[in-house]
Amino acid sequence: MGNEHELDAPTDMNMNLMEVCKSYDLPVDGTCGGMAMCASCQVYIETDHVSLEKSNDEQAMLDEAWHVQDNSRLGCQIPITSKLNGLKLKIAPEVVEDNEW
Amino acid sequence: MIKTDIIIIGAGPVGLFTVFEAGLLKLKCHLIDALPITGGQCAEIYPKKPIYDIPGYPEILAGDLVDNLMNQIKPFNPGFTLGETALNIEKLANDQFIVTTKEGTQHQAPVVAIAGGLGVFIPRKPPIQNISSFENKGINYIVKDPDLFKDKRIVISGGGDSALDWALYFANGFCSEVTLIHRSQQFRAHPDSVQRAMDLANNGKLKIILDSEVLELEGEDHLESLTIKTKNADNSIISTDYWLPLFGLTPKLGPIANWGLEIEKNAIVVDNSKDYSTNIEGIYAIGDVNTYPGKLKLILCGFHEGTIMVQSAFKRIYPNKNHVLKYTTVTGIVGFENK
């Protein structure tokens, strides 16, 4: 949608990026609940705060997602830590288009 | 016309358990689900994943939970319309509801319980511009009747169990030509299936193209060829009769959104202070598909909602009968015989 949102993410609640987005009512489904079984939380990492290395499971889901880029990650596979302070990311178009609101 | 006491739209764990609670009140149920199997998300997305928050089960596989529920509701002989999507609900003058599926199957009942979970599971479709013009004209997202592909040239895309299972099924002489295309070098399907596919490829019975995806579709009235994009190589063209993009299913609210129900953020607004009824009298929504202040999308919450809902359904169906809550420890389970 092109809207920018600044999010405060708690580092003491064992949350991941997908859950933080959902807690702010952003259009992220997280259909599988965060098990890297659906790719409905695909994001593009735009800063250096997060490694672009992925587990086999995460890569396997991205292998069948749409609009995948080199900087794609599944939000549910990125735990929130203080090291993420300042992270910039974009929600993948498949995720946004799939949401009806 | 299938007639029952409660039409349950959605045969996931919450829909299934509602059959049990309804059965205790001697109410018969018929379930409709777009999936060809019962179990909803548990069966479709994560059957082998353990769940840790089902009361009484420190750990239970999602698929085993579904099996247990199917056993639990067996005494109450529920009916099932599976593999069909509930398309519309019509309320008659006598307060009965008719629920009709896309396939034309009609169901009638005084009560409808929507236990639709995250929505109806529909195939994930590749974002190729003209793909819809070839649907059922060379492109199929689901294999309903394998005979359609007998002696034909087919291309299958995907890296999961569905793609591999169908490639293995069709490759042993059933089709004249089978090609499996996957975007990377690794499949996420069962290793045994992958090995069998590789063996077939080595024997010339299956063509596997890795690091590739379908880019374009060509054809007049029917699909005729696919343009394939391959990493670090030129595009290529494959002539084919059918393309099966098997990229799994995704849930969408779908037709539910068109039934005149109050919807908020892809969920049905219900009255949680009473009975999980919607804004249409006689229609309830339970489980992940509903929303209310404080809602938790947990299976155990859906179990509770279904239990409360059927009490209200009973009063709607039998307004002149008084019902007294009986404990199953007192009465046991008295199933339906040929009801």
CATH 3.50.50.60 placement within chain B: 2-122+250-331, 125-247
Residue A19 in 3-state DSSP?
Answer: helix
DSSP 8-state code for residue B260: S
How far apart CA B33 and CA B10 sit, in angstroms, is: 5
Which run of H or E residues covers position B35?
Answer: none
Contact A37 B183 (CB under 8 A): no
Task: Report the residue from A25, A38, A63 with minimal CB separation from B184.
Answer: A63
Residue B184 in 3-state DSSP?
Answer: coil
Distances from the Cα of B187 to the Cα of A27, B183, B234, angstroms: 29, 9, 23
Distances from the Cα of B122 to the Cα of B3, B85, B169, B278, B282, angstroms: 27, 10, 23, 25, 27
pLDDT digits (tens, 9 = 90+) for B251-277: 888 899 999 999 998 899 999 999 999
Residue B254 contacts A where some CB pair is shorter than 8 Å: no
Interface pTM, i.e. ipTM: 0.82
Q: Which of B124, B261, B291 to mutate to test the interface with A (most CBs of A within 10 A)?
A: B124
Question: Within 10 A of A14 (CB to CB), how many other CB atoms are there?
Answer: 9
8 A C-beta contact, residue B214 and residue B45? no
How far apart CA B152 and CA B334 sit, in angstroms, is: 53
Domain B125-247 in this protein, CATH class: alpha beta
Q: State the pLDDT at residue B142.
A: 86
Task: Tell me, rounded to whole angstroms, the distance of Cα B58 from its chain centroid.
Answer: 27
Residue B75 contacts A where some CB pair is shorter than 8 Å: no
Which run of H or E residues covers position A61?
Answer: helix A56-62
Residues of chain B contacting residue A57, judged by C-beta atoms under 8 Å apart? 188
Residue B160 contacts A where some CB pair is shorter than 8 Å: yes
| Residue ranges of domains in chain A, CATH in brackets | 17-93 (3.10.20.30)
8 A C-beta contact, residue B138 and residue B241? yes
Residue A7 contacts B where some CB pair is shorter than 8 Å: no
Residue A96 contacts B where some CB pair is shorter than 8 Å: no
Q: State the pLDDT at residue B289.
A: 97
**φ and ψ of B2, to 5 deg:** -90, 125
How far apart CA B335 and CA B339 sit, in angstroms, is: 9
Task: Tell me, rounded to whole angstroms, the distance of Cα B167 from its chain centroid.
Answer: 22
Domain B2-122+250-331 in this protein, CATH class: alpha beta
8 A C-beta contact, residue B83 and residue B105? no
Which residues of B, range 92-111, sit inside 8 Å of A by Cβ? none
Contact A98 B253 (CB under 8 A): no
Counting one residue from A and one from B, how many pairs have CB atoms under 8 Å apart? Answer: 52
Which residues of A, range 22-61, sit inside 8 Å of B by Cβ? 25, 29, 31-32, 35, 37-38, 40, 56-57, 59-61
pLDDT digits (tens, 9 = 90+) for B215-248: 999 999 999 999 999 999 999 999 999 999 999 8
Residues of chain B contacting residue A60, judged by C-beta atoms under 8 Å apart? 159, 184, 186-188
How far apart CA A5 and CA B63 sit, in angstroms, is: 39
Q: State the pLDDT at residue A96.
A: 52
What average pLDDT is seen over chain B? 94
pTM: 0.83
8 A C-beta contact, residue B308 and residue B138? no
